[in-house]
Amino acid sequence: MTHQTAAAPAARERLAESGFGLKFSRFVHRNARYIFPAPAFIVVGVIVVYPVFYTGWMSLQEWYASSLTLPQFIGTANYQKIIAGDPRFREAFFRTLYFTLIAVSVETVLGVSMAILFNREFWGKGLVRTLSILPMMATPTAISLIFVMMYHPTLGVMNYLLTVVGLPAWTWTYSSKTALYAIALVDVWEWTPLIMLIAMAGLAALPKEPYESAKIDGASAFQCFYLITLPLLRPTLVVAILFRAIDALKTFDIIFVMTQGGPSNASETINILLFNQAFSYFNMGYASSMAVALFSIILGVCLVLMKVRRVGW
Amino acid sequence: MVGTTKYRKLAKTVGFYALVILVMLPTAFVFYWMITLSLKPQVEAAGFPPSFFRFSVTFKGYLYVFAKHPFLLYTWNSLVVATGTTLLGLIVGLPAAYGIAKWRQHKFALAILVARIIPGISYLIPWYILFRNLKMVDTYSALILTHLVVGLPITIWVMVGFFEDIPPDLREAALIDGCTDYGAFWRVALPLVKPGIVATAILAFIFSWNNFLFSVILAGRNTRTLPIAVFNMIGYEEINWAPLAAAATLITLPVILLTLVIQRHIVTGLTFGAVKG
């Protein structure tokens, strides 16, 4: 008797427990599709979403992180300053677009030309592909450092090579007239292979028939390229350009390591200006509004390019 | 007649290879220059005219880097941060990638694209303020958390592709045999994508290893990573080129070796966020 009464509540308890456990495990199994991505969702929320909203909010304040005063709400004053009252930002804005335009167009022309050159079976194709990947993955800081040494106006190997082929020496990153181009050249060196590899994959997937019928119709190689290859390659190419444009607009490492925006602001893009505002002057509010502006610019360029993808040339 | 076509063919091949070499020369030259510069004695490294092939080989540049700067500490810091980022990225990213692949939650891909468009600096300002208030500047945790912003999207992006390649029949068979979704993930899917996990881990590792922007602000005296150390050396060493090149080689060499292992997956990794189709 006593044995039975003692056991009953324990059993009931166990039953209740398993009831809850059952409910819980049922919940876990029914909602697996939400539970699998949940940790990533939380992490992204903490490290991405929260800072983004914080930056948006901070862009409406005036605050120097170096001082002891608290942030002060100033509405859209920072944005008004960006648009109307800061020539340095305006210069940086056009410089950023110009840098991106130069770097990405050179990369596209070179990359597509190289892809067409390599679009055949030949001994050493694997080696070419392997070698092309290395500039994209090598540490940008280290690469910039090597270019700093190669660009040296008197001791550098670049000017030596120029004089060997009979050209006048150049000033590279050491003059405000040439610095931006010299940096764009580093970007071209790093990223032309990406466009090339994407274009090579695109070329390999093209159908053969249009070329055969064009050959029968007597089309020249140039006509084949311009009227068949380029239009067919366009969707792939626009995606490649889109990716390059996003990253070129955000270029930071190579500029910061090589010139830090100089000489005399000649290579100061929005990203560099913004970095200095935030971490040299600790002008957090104004820097945040520039960050929002840079994001809008990148988004704008993306939307334009995505439209180009759908509409004709 | 037969002879001339043969010669023409030969000339064409030679011309083609000459062009290939010409096109690939700049890429190869920068790496060649980095490595040879690091092996030259100082007199020859900054000598003019520069020597291309004939120079005396010495390891003094490397010895100098380790003797004059705490390079072992920097290397250790880089290793800890990159490994931590990679592991955390895998732990959080693998289930997410599995979920996205299995239940076709493609809106996540769009979210990843948006995360890619947002400039890194707009994260950096809030983090800096937050970590400063928490006294977490110059800690591994701060660096690892921030490096995840690049590492996690890459991990998810590349792994979704690998999970999608698993034939659905296998998963269904596992479910019929009494596996839960979690069992199917752990016992069936994960073992099948092992090569993918290796490739993804290496990619995430390299991106963290290369990171400059986040580390330059959030790393301090104790946690300084290699890219920041090299950046600081530029001002300090001026034209002491052999050690500078040695430092650059030391950072780049592991990346090159790892890249060679996973070269097939690099382009996928670099275009993460591209919506398929």
Cβ neighbors of B14 (< 8 A, separation 6 or more) are none
- Same domain flag for B46 and B100: no
Q: How confident is the model at residue B276 (pLDDT cuts 50, 70, 90)?
A: very low
- Same domain flag for B101 and B47: no
Q: How confident is the model at residue B89 (pLDDT cuts 50, 70, 90)?
A: very high
- Same domain flag for B25 and B156: no
- Same domain flag for B68 and B51: no
SS3 B167: coil
pLDDT at B275 over 50: no
Question: What pLDDT score was predicted for residue B2?
Answer: 56
Query: CA-CA distance, B141 to A29, in Å (whole number)?
Result: 33
SS3 A209: helix
Q: Do A55 and B259 touch (CB under 8 A)?
A: no
- Same domain flag for B25 and B134: no
From the candidates B107, B110, B122, which should be mutated to test the interface with A, based on the most A CB atoms within 10 A? B122
The answer to whether B272 touches B265, Cβ cutoff 8 Å, is no
Cβ neighbors of A287 (< 8 A, separation 6 or more) are A274, A275, A277, A278, B121, B125
Q: How confident is the model at residue B272 (pLDDT cuts 50, 70, 90)?
A: low
The answer to whether A59 touches A292, Cβ cutoff 8 Å, is yes
Q: How confident is the model at residue B277 (pLDDT cuts 50, 70, 90)?
A: very low
Nearest to A290 by CA among A72, A59, A74: A59
Write the single-letter amino acid at A301. Answer: V
- The mean of the pLDDT values for chain A is 86
Q: Do A133 and B259 touch (CB under 8 A)?
A: yes
- Same domain flag for B80 and B205: yes
A6 vs chain B: nearest CA distance in angstroms? 36
Span B151-170, pLDDT tens digits: 888 888 888 888 888 887 87
Contacts of A150 in chain B (CB under 8 A): 30, 33
- Same domain flag for B168 and B40: no
Query: CA-CA distance, B277 to B271, in Å (whole number)?
Result: 14
Contacts of B247 in chain A (CB under 8 A): 142, 145
Span A188-227, pLDDT tens digits: 999 999 999 889 888 888 888 888 888 888 888 888 888 8
Q: Do B126 and A147 touch (CB under 8 A)?
A: no
Question: What pLDDT score was predicted for residue A89?
Answer: 92
Q: Do B123 and A239 touch (CB under 8 A)?
A: no
pTM: 0.88
Residue B61 burial (CB count, 10 A): 24
Q: Do A128 and B105 touch (CB under 8 A)?
A: no
Domain ranges of chain A: 2-73, 84-310
Residue B275 in any domain: the answer is no
Tokens, residue A120: 């055949």
Q: Where are the beta strands (DSSP E) in chain A?
A: 61-62, 72-73
Q: Which domain holds residue B55?
A: 2-60
Question: What pLDDT score was predicted for residue B261?
Answer: 83
Residue B276 in any domain: the answer is no
Q: What is the mean pLDDT of residues A124-142?
A: 91
Percentage of residues in chain B having pLDDT higher than 90: 35
Tokens, residue B256: 């090159």
Question: What pLDDT score was predicted for residue B109?
Answer: 66
- Choosing from B16, B39, B60, the residue where a domain stops is B60
Residue B168 in any domain: the answer is yes
Q: Do B230 and A148 touch (CB under 8 A)?
A: no
Span B97-141, pLDDT tens digits: 888 888 877 777 677 777 778 888 888 999 998 888 888 889 999
Question: What pLDDT score was predicted for residue B236?
Answer: 74
Chain B's closest residue to A196, CA to CA, is B267
Residue B13 in any domain: the answer is yes
A84-310 folds as MetI-like fold (1.10.3720)
Percentage of residues in chain A having pLDDT higher than 70: 93
Q: Do A43 and B148 touch (CB under 8 A)?
A: yes
Closest in A28, A54, A129 to B126, CB measured: A54
Q: How confident is the model at residue A270 (pLDDT cuts 50, 70, 90)?
A: very high
Contacts of A194 in chain B (CB under 8 A): 267, 270-271
Q: Do B129 and A43 touch (CB under 8 A)?
A: no
- Choosing from B37, B60, B83, the residue where a domain stops is B60
- Same domain flag for B6 and B97: no
Highest mean pLDDT among A94-103, A225-234, A237-246, B137-146: A94-103
Q: Do B210 and A140 touch (CB under 8 A)?
A: yes
SS3 A73: strand
Chain B's closest residue to A185, CA to CA, is B26
Question: What pLDDT score was predicted for residue A5?
Answer: 45
- Same domain flag for B118 and B217: yes
Question: What pLDDT score was predicted for residue A1?
Answer: 38
From the candidates B125, B152, B209, B275, which should be mutated to test the interface with A, based on the most A CB atoms within 10 A? B125
Complex ipTM, two decimals?
0.88
Residue B246 in any domain: the answer is yes
B4 vs chain A: nearest CA distance in angstroms? 22
- Same domain flag for B135 and B222: yes
Q: How many CB pairs under 8 A join A and B?
A: 244
Closest in B156, B227, B271 to A243, CB measured: B271
Here the CATH number for the domain that contains residue B218 is 1.10.3720.10
SS3 A53: helix
Chain B's closest residue to A287, CA to CA, is B125
Chain A's closest residue to B96, CA to CA, is A37
Q: What angle do CA B88, B90, B96 make, to 5 degrees?
A: 110
Tokens, residue B123: 């994260």
Span A150-197, pLDDT tens digits: 998 888 889 899 988 888 888 888 888 899 999 999 999 999 999 998
- Same domain flag for B38 and B146: no
Q: How confident is the model at residue A7 (pLDDT cuts 50, 70, 90)?
A: very low
Chain B's closest residue to A128, CA to CA, is B24
Question: What pLDDT score was predicted for residue B245?
Answer: 92
Q: CA dist A58 to A74, A129, A184, A240, A284, Å?
A: 10, 45, 32, 34, 7
Span B168-223, pLDDT tens digits: 787 778 777 777 888 888 888 888 888 889 989 999 999 999 999 999 999 888 89
Percentage of residues in chain B having pLDDT higher than 70: 95
The answer to whether A144 touches A253, Cβ cutoff 8 Å, is yes
From the candidates A146, A189, A250, A292, which should be mutated to test the interface with B, based on the most B CB atoms within 10 A? A146
Span A63-80, pLDDT tens digits: 887 777 788 888 788 888
Percentage of residues in chain A having pLDDT higher than 90: 34
| Distance in Å from the first CA to the final CA of chain B | 51
Closest in B30, B98, B117 to A146, CB measured: B30
Closest in A32, A145, A239 to B182, CB measured: A32
Output A4 or A153, whichever has higher pLDDT: A153
A1 vs chain B: nearest CA distance in angstroms? 41
A14 vs chain B: nearest CA distance in angstroms? 24
Closest in A130, A138, A239 to B255, CB measured: A138
Nearest to A178 by CA among A162, A194, A195: A162
- What is the number of domains present in chain B? 2
Q: Do B126 and A122 touch (CB under 8 A)?
A: no
- Same domain flag for B25 and B146: no
Residue B78 in any domain: the answer is yes
Cβ neighbors of A57 (< 8 A, separation 6 or more) are none
Tokens, residue B139: 């800690």
Closest in A139, A253, A298 to B251, CB measured: A139
CA B20, B23, B28, B33 dihedral sign is positive
